[in-house]
């Protein structure tokens, strides 16, 4: 499609939420713990309500699913409808600790495919957006420009998160001795942007904590960029193979430039996932 439905209004809603996050963070945060290493603030909850209400107004015929609204999890199911998947603060720990490396993310899922996504980085006032058959764009300041996927600048650099590095670092060094593990902090969505822009050639994610709202938006951008997204068997990432209670992905995730994924995939099948 030449232009996604109501793209300008969507971008405005997300940018407004991101600026509100910055203002609320500076005013002081109330932090609660949802689980081990899983934090939530009043900013997450406030933005969740604001974004959900805005998307219901924009698309009353669609289904809105958001991270901090547990009731919305039960609205996800099959069918041909469109689902808006909202992560109000992706990278909450970095939001709390540094005020950087976090994002406000929204994705459109339809027919089991990630169709479009918005990843807004408030600390840089930078938004990446686009989708399948639509294009890939970046808005920074007042200008919007095409965002061109870039081949890896450092072949062998692979993004691995803290938990996976702790649990599987020794195995990865044995199985893939040639890689440089990059422990890129913060937002899962911004990690995918790093791969699209060639700062790394792949992202490996094994710990099973990533949820539907973490993946739909940035993976729509990765799909448009031509990246490969699969599990350890090479099967495409499925948006139906989810934990019904949490909407967490059951599959391990390998995302990257096709040549890199092909190079690593056979050996990663040896990884002993806990």
pLDDT at 208: 80
CATH of the domain at 36: 3.30.540.10
Both 97 and 182 in one domain: the answer is no
pLDDT of 63 over the 90 cut: yes
Q: Which residue has the higher pLDDT, 104 or 38?
A: 104
Task: Show which of 107, 123, 146 is a domain's final residue.
Answer: 146
152 domain-assigned:
no
Q: In this structure, are residues 211 and 247 in contact, taking their beta carbons and an 8 Å threshold?
A: yes
Model pLDDT, residue 34: 63
**Contact assessment for residue 31 and residue 42, using Cβ atoms and an 8 Å cutoff:** no
Write out the two tokens for 2. 């030449």
Whether 151 maps to a domain, the answer reads no
The whole-number pLDDT of residue 209 equals: 85
30 and 115 share one domain? yes
Q: Per-residue pLDDT tens for 178-213? A: 999 998 889 999 999 999 999 999 999 998 889 999
pLDDT at 2: 38
Asked if 94 contacts 84 with a C-beta cutoff of 8 angstroms, the reply is no
Domain CATH for 253: 3.40.190.80
Query: How high is the pLDDT of residue 4?
Result: 66
pLDDT band at 39 (very low <50, low <70, confident <90, very high): low
Whether residue 183 is found in the same domain as residue 140:
no
Same domain for 71 and 46? yes
**Coil, strand or helix: which one is 258?**
helix
Do both 163 and 48 map to the same domain? no
Give the integer Cα–Cα distance in Å for 197 and 219: 14
Average pLDDT over residues 97-111: 92
| Tally of domains in the chain | 2
- Together in a domain, 46 and 172: no
Residue 204 confidence (pLDDT): 96
Average pLDDT, the chain: 90
Q: Is there a domain that residue 13 lies in? A: yes
Mean of pLDDT values over 11-15: 95
Q: Is the pLDDT of residue 76 over 70?
A: yes
Q: Is the dihedral of CA 181, 185, 189, 193 positive or negative?
A: negative
Handedness of CA 129, 139, 10, 119 (dihedral sign): positive
Query: What's residue 74's pLDDT?
Result: 84
Which two structure tokens, joined as six digits, stand for 210? 């990533």
Share of the chain above pLDDT 70, in %: 93
Domain range spanning residue 99? 7-146
Whether 229 is in a domain gets the answer yes
Say if 210 falls within a structural domain: yes
| 273 within domain boundaries | no
Please list the residues that pair with 202 across neighbouring strands.
158, 256
| Same domain membership, residue 142 and residue 177 | no
* Last residue within a domain, chosen from 126, 146, 166: 146
Q: Is the torsion defined by CA of 8, 9, 14, 20 positive or negative?
A: positive
Report if residue 60 sits inside a domain.
yes
pTM of the model: 0.93
167 and 110 in a single domain? The answer is no
For residues 128 and 230, membership in a common domain is answered with no
- Burial grade of 269 (CB within 10 A; 0-12, 13-18, 19 or more): exposed
Q: Are residues 92 and 115 in the same domain?
A: yes
Domain boundary among 124, 146, 168: 146
The predicted model gives 236-246 an average pLDDT of 91
Q: Which of 189, 210, 192, 190 minimizes the C-alpha distance to 201?
A: 192
Q: Are residues 203 and 106 in the same domain?
A: no
Q: What is the mean pLDDT of residues 150-163?
A: 94
Residue 1 covered by a domain: no
Report the distance separating Cα 40 and Cα 47, nearest Å.
12
Q: Which residue has the tokens 């997204």?
A: 229
In this structure, the answer to whether residues 78 and 168 fall within a common structural domain is no
């Amino acid at each position: 499609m030449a232009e996604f439905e109501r793209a300008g209004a969507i971008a405005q809603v997300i940018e407004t939420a991101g600026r509100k996050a910055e203002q609320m963070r500076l005013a002081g945060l109330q932090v609660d713990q949802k689980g081990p290493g899983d934090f939530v603030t009043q900013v997450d909850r406030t933005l969740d309500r604001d974004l959900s209400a805005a998307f219901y107004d924009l698309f009353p015929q669609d289904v809105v699913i958001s991270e901090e609204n547990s009731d919305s999890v039960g609205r996800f199911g099959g069918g041909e409808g469109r689902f808006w998947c909202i992560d109000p603060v992706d990278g909450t720990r970095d939001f709390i600790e540094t005020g950087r490396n976090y994002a406000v993310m929204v994705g459109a899922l339809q027919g089991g495919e990630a169709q479009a996504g918005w990843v807004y980085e408030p600390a840089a006032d930078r938004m990446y957006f686009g989708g399948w058959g639509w294009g890939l764009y970046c808005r920074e300041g007042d200008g919007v420009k095409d965002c061109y996927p870039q081949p890896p600048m450092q072949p062998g650099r692979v993004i691995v998160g803290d938990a996976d590095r702790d649990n599987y670092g020794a195995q990865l060094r044995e199985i893939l001795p040639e890689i440089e593990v990059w422990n890129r902090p913060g937002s899962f969505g911004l990690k995918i942007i790093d791969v699209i822009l060639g700062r790394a050639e792949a992202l490996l994610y094994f710990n099973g904590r990533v949820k539907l709202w973490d993946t739909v938006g940035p993976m729509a951008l990765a799909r448009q960029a031509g990246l490969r997204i699969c599990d350890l068997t090479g099967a495409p990432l499925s948006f139906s193979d989810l934990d019904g209670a949490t909407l967490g992905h059951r599959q391990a995730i390998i995302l990257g430039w096709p040549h890199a994924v092909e190079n690593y995939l056979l050996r990663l099948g040896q990884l002993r996932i806990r």
